[in-house]
Protein backbone atom coordinates (compact mmCIF):
# COMPACT_ATOMS: atom_id res chain seq x y z
CA UNK A 1 0.00 0.00 0.00
CA UNK A 2 1.32 3.44 -0.96
CA UNK A 3 1.70 5.87 1.94
CA UNK A 4 2.91 9.28 0.85
CA UNK A 5 3.04 10.64 4.40
CA UNK A 6 6.06 8.44 5.14
CA UNK A 7 8.06 9.51 2.07
CA UNK A 8 11.06 11.78 2.65
CA UNK A 9 13.35 10.74 -0.21
CA UNK A 10 12.43 9.98 -3.82
CA UNK A 11 14.79 7.93 -5.97
CA UNK A 12 14.40 8.17 -9.74
CA UNK A 13 15.63 5.89 -12.44
CA UNK A 14 17.15 7.94 -15.29
CA UNK A 15 16.81 6.25 -18.69
CA UNK A 16 13.22 5.66 -19.84
CA UNK A 17 11.95 7.49 -16.74
CA UNK A 18 13.21 11.08 -16.80
CA UNK A 19 15.53 10.99 -19.81
CA UNK A 20 13.78 9.92 -23.03
CA UNK A 21 16.24 7.22 -23.99
CA UNK A 22 14.48 5.88 -27.09
CA UNK A 23 14.08 9.31 -28.65
CA UNK A 24 17.63 10.40 -27.90
CA UNK A 25 19.04 7.06 -29.02
CA UNK A 26 17.18 7.26 -32.33
CA UNK A 27 18.54 10.75 -32.98
CA UNK A 28 22.05 9.51 -32.17
CA UNK A 29 21.79 6.63 -34.63
CA UNK A 30 20.38 8.94 -37.28
CA UNK A 31 23.53 11.05 -36.95
CA UNK A 32 25.84 8.02 -36.99
CA UNK A 33 24.18 6.47 -40.03
CA UNK A 34 24.71 9.72 -41.91
CA UNK A 35 28.25 10.32 -40.62
CA UNK A 36 29.51 6.82 -41.39
CA UNK A 37 27.38 6.47 -44.55
CA UNK A 38 25.81 3.21 -43.46
CA UNK A 39 23.54 1.73 -46.09
CA UNK A 40 20.56 1.17 -43.86
CA UNK A 41 17.24 2.91 -43.23
CA UNK A 42 16.96 4.28 -39.70
CA UNK A 43 13.53 2.76 -39.13
CA UNK A 44 14.69 -0.69 -40.28
CA UNK A 45 17.78 -0.42 -38.08
CA UNK A 46 15.81 0.56 -34.96
CA UNK A 47 13.20 -2.16 -35.54
CA UNK A 48 15.95 -4.74 -35.11
CA UNK A 49 18.23 -2.90 -32.70
CA UNK A 50 15.75 -1.83 -30.01
CA UNK A 51 14.61 -5.32 -28.90
CA UNK A 52 18.17 -6.65 -29.18
CA UNK A 53 19.45 -3.81 -27.00
CA UNK A 54 16.71 -4.53 -24.47
CA UNK A 55 17.64 -8.21 -24.27
CA UNK A 56 21.36 -7.47 -23.97
CA UNK A 57 20.73 -4.92 -21.22
CA UNK A 58 18.73 -7.57 -19.37
CA UNK A 59 21.67 -9.96 -19.65
CA UNK A 60 24.03 -7.19 -18.50
CA UNK A 61 21.76 -6.37 -15.56
CA UNK A 62 21.79 -10.05 -14.59
CA UNK A 63 25.62 -10.04 -14.84
CA UNK A 64 25.62 -12.62 -17.63
CA UNK A 65 27.69 -10.37 -19.92
CA UNK A 66 30.08 -7.47 -19.40
CA UNK A 67 29.89 -3.90 -20.68
CA UNK A 68 32.08 -4.46 -23.71
CA UNK A 69 30.07 -7.49 -24.82
CA UNK A 70 26.89 -5.46 -24.51
CA UNK A 71 28.28 -2.61 -26.59
CA UNK A 72 29.60 -4.92 -29.32
CA UNK A 73 26.91 -7.60 -29.60
CA UNK A 74 23.91 -5.26 -29.79
CA UNK A 75 25.40 -3.70 -32.92
CA UNK A 76 26.94 -6.85 -34.39
CA UNK A 77 23.70 -8.83 -34.10
CA UNK A 78 21.70 -5.96 -35.57
CA UNK A 79 23.91 -5.70 -38.65
CA UNK A 80 23.94 -9.50 -39.05
CA UNK A 81 20.15 -9.69 -38.93
CA UNK A 82 19.93 -6.88 -41.48
CA UNK A 83 22.47 -8.78 -43.61
CA UNK A 84 24.88 -5.85 -43.64
CA UNK A 85 28.57 -6.60 -43.92
CA UNK A 86 30.11 -4.33 -41.28
CA UNK A 87 33.67 -4.90 -40.07
CA UNK A 88 34.48 -5.37 -36.40
CA UNK A 89 36.65 -2.27 -36.59
CA UNK A 90 33.68 -0.17 -37.69
CA UNK A 91 31.42 -1.78 -35.09
CA UNK A 92 33.83 -0.81 -32.30
CA UNK A 93 34.12 2.66 -33.81
CA UNK A 94 30.33 3.01 -33.89
CA UNK A 95 30.03 1.68 -30.33
CA UNK A 96 32.42 4.37 -29.08
CA UNK A 97 30.81 7.09 -31.19
CA UNK A 98 27.37 6.13 -29.92
CA UNK A 99 28.41 6.47 -26.27
CA UNK A 100 30.11 9.81 -26.97
CA UNK A 101 27.25 11.23 -29.02
CA UNK A 102 24.24 10.01 -27.03
CA UNK A 103 24.49 12.62 -24.21
CA UNK A 104 24.41 15.41 -26.80
CA UNK A 105 20.69 14.76 -27.27
CA UNK A 106 18.77 15.73 -24.18
CA UNK A 107 15.06 15.22 -24.62
CA UNK A 108 13.30 14.56 -21.33
CA UNK A 109 9.86 13.07 -20.88
CA UNK A 110 7.06 15.66 -20.83
CA UNK A 111 6.76 17.37 -17.48
CA UNK A 112 10.10 16.15 -16.12
CA UNK A 113 11.47 19.60 -15.21
CA UNK A 114 8.13 20.76 -13.85
CA UNK A 115 7.80 17.69 -11.66
CA UNK A 116 11.37 17.86 -10.32
CA UNK A 117 11.01 21.56 -9.50
CA UNK A 118 7.83 20.94 -7.53
CA UNK A 119 8.98 17.79 -5.77
CA UNK A 120 12.29 19.27 -4.63
CA UNK A 121 10.35 21.76 -2.47
CA UNK A 122 8.94 18.84 -0.43
CA UNK A 123 11.34 15.94 -0.78
CA UNK A 124 15.01 15.08 -1.22
CA UNK A 125 15.55 13.76 -4.74
CA UNK A 126 18.07 11.14 -5.88
CA UNK A 127 19.05 8.98 -8.86
CA UNK A 128 19.66 5.22 -9.02
CA UNK A 129 20.80 4.12 -12.47
CA UNK A 130 22.22 1.03 -14.13
CA UNK A 131 23.79 3.15 -16.85
CA UNK A 132 27.49 3.79 -17.38
CA UNK A 133 28.80 6.37 -14.90
CA UNK A 134 30.32 8.97 -17.24
CA UNK A 135 27.52 8.75 -19.79
CA UNK A 136 24.81 9.18 -17.16
CA UNK A 137 26.60 12.17 -15.65
CA UNK A 138 26.71 13.97 -18.98
CA UNK A 139 23.09 13.10 -19.74
CA UNK A 140 21.99 14.76 -16.52
CA UNK A 141 24.34 17.71 -16.86
CA UNK A 142 23.51 18.44 -20.49
CA UNK A 143 19.76 18.11 -19.95
CA UNK A 144 19.86 20.52 -17.01
CA UNK A 145 18.59 18.19 -14.29
CA UNK A 146 21.72 17.22 -12.36
CA UNK A 147 21.31 19.92 -9.71
CA UNK A 148 17.93 18.53 -8.63
CA UNK A 149 19.55 15.48 -7.05
CA UNK A 150 21.20 15.19 -3.66
CA UNK A 151 22.86 11.88 -4.52
CA UNK A 152 23.50 9.89 -7.70
CA UNK A 153 24.06 6.15 -7.40
CA UNK A 154 25.26 4.25 -10.48
CA UNK A 155 25.83 0.54 -10.89
CA UNK A 156 29.44 0.92 -12.02
CA UNK A 157 30.40 2.63 -8.77
CA UNK A 158 28.53 0.20 -6.53
CA UNK A 159 29.55 -2.90 -8.47
CA UNK A 160 26.03 -4.34 -8.79
CA UNK A 161 22.97 -3.44 -10.82
CA UNK A 162 19.30 -3.09 -10.03
CA UNK A 163 17.48 -5.20 -8.89
CA UNK A 164 20.35 -6.32 -6.63
CA UNK A 165 19.46 -5.20 -3.09
CA UNK A 166 22.95 -3.80 -2.54
CA UNK A 167 22.49 -0.90 -4.96
CA UNK A 168 19.28 0.22 -3.23
CA UNK A 169 20.86 -0.20 0.19
CA UNK A 170 23.89 1.82 -0.93
CA UNK A 171 21.68 4.59 -2.35
CA UNK A 172 19.46 4.87 0.73
CA UNK A 173 22.49 4.87 3.04
CA UNK A 174 24.17 7.62 1.00
CA UNK A 175 20.96 9.64 1.14
CA UNK A 176 20.87 9.37 4.92
CA UNK A 177 17.38 7.95 4.69
CA UNK A 178 15.60 4.73 5.65
CA UNK A 179 13.87 2.19 3.44
CA UNK A 180 10.46 2.95 4.94
CA UNK A 181 10.88 6.64 4.06
CA UNK A 182 12.12 6.03 0.51
CA UNK A 183 10.20 5.88 -2.77
CA UNK A 184 11.53 4.50 -6.08
CA UNK A 185 10.13 5.77 -9.39
CA UNK A 186 11.15 3.81 -12.47
CA UNK A 187 10.04 2.21 -15.70
CA UNK A 188 11.44 -1.30 -15.34
CA UNK A 189 9.15 -3.62 -13.41
CA UNK A 190 11.84 -6.12 -12.49
CA UNK A 191 14.76 -3.79 -11.85
CA UNK A 192 13.05 -0.74 -10.35
CA UNK A 193 9.78 -1.89 -8.84
CA UNK A 194 10.48 -5.42 -7.63
CA UNK A 195 14.04 -4.50 -6.69
CA UNK A 196 12.95 -1.55 -4.56
CA UNK A 197 10.06 -3.33 -2.89
CA UNK A 198 12.27 -6.29 -2.02
CA UNK A 199 14.33 -4.07 0.30
CA UNK A 200 11.31 -2.33 1.83
CA UNK A 201 11.06 0.78 -0.34
CA UNK A 202 7.80 1.98 -1.80
CA UNK A 203 7.61 2.17 -5.59
CA UNK A 204 5.70 3.84 -8.40
CA UNK A 205 5.85 2.25 -11.84
CA UNK A 206 6.27 4.72 -14.72
CA UNK A 207 4.65 2.52 -17.34
CA UNK A 208 5.13 4.07 -20.77
CA UNK A 209 6.04 1.01 -22.82
CA UNK A 210 2.64 -0.66 -23.11
CA UNK A 211 3.01 -2.70 -19.94
CA UNK A 212 0.05 -4.73 -18.73
CA UNK A 213 -1.69 -3.38 -15.68
CA UNK A 214 -0.76 -4.91 -12.34
CA UNK A 215 -1.48 -4.24 -8.69
CA UNK A 216 2.02 -4.66 -7.28
CA UNK A 217 2.58 -0.89 -7.31
CA UNK A 218 0.88 2.31 -8.36
CA UNK A 219 1.20 2.83 -12.12
CA UNK A 220 1.41 6.15 -13.98
CA UNK A 221 1.81 6.90 -17.68
CA UNK A 222 2.75 10.58 -17.28
CA UNK A 223 5.34 12.00 -14.90
CA UNK A 224 3.04 14.89 -14.05
CA UNK A 225 0.71 12.44 -12.31
CA UNK A 226 3.35 12.21 -9.58
CA UNK A 227 2.27 15.65 -8.42
CA UNK A 228 -1.26 14.33 -7.85
CA UNK A 229 0.04 11.39 -5.83
CA UNK A 230 2.66 13.30 -3.85
Which residues constitute the domain of residue 63? 22-104
Residues 47, 77 within the same domain? yes
Is 198 found in the same domain as 144?
yes
Would you place residue 192 in the very low, low, confident or very high pLDDT band (cuts 50, 70, 90)?
A: very high
Percent of the chain with pLDDT strictly greater than 70:
100
Q: Domain ends where: 104, 128, 155?
A: 104
Statement to judge: residues 134 and 219 lie in one domain = yes
Looking at the structure, do residues 14 and 44 belong to the same domain, yes or no?
no
222 with 118, same domain?
yes
pTM: 0.93
Residue pLDDT, tens place only, 22-32: 999 999 999 99
Are residues 115 and 37 part of one domain? no
If asked whether residues 44 and 126 sit together in one domain, one would say: no
CATH number at residue 190: 3.40.50.1000
CATH of the domain at 30: 1.10.150.240
The predicted pLDDT at position 167 comes to: 98
- Say yes or no: 113 and 128 in one domain: yes
Buried b (16+ CB within 10 A) or exposed e, 184-223: bbbbbbebbbbbbbebebbbbbbbbeeeeeeeebbbbeeb
Residues 169 and 220 in one domain: yes
Q: Which of 55, 82, 104 is the last residue of a domain?
A: 104
End residue of a domain, out of 104, 123, 158: 104
Residue 1 — pLDDT band, cuts 50, 70, 90?
low
Q: Is the Cα torsion angle 48, 54, 58, 64 positive or negative in sign?
A: positive
Is there a single domain that holds both residue 38 and residue 124? no
224 and 129 share one domain: yes
pLDDT at 224: 97
Predicted confidence (pLDDT) per residue in 141-188, tens digit: 999 999 999 999 999 999 999 999 999 999 999 999 999 999 999 999
Q: Do 14 and 39 fall into the same domain? A: no
The total domain count for the chain is 2
pLDDT of residue 37: 96
Amino acid sequence: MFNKTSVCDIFFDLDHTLWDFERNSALTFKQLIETYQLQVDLKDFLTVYVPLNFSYWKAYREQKIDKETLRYRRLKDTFDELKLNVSDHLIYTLADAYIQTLPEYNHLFPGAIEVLKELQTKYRLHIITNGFRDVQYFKMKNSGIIDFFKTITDSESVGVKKPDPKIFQHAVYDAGSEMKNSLMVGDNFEADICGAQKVGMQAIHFAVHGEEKHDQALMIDDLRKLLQLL
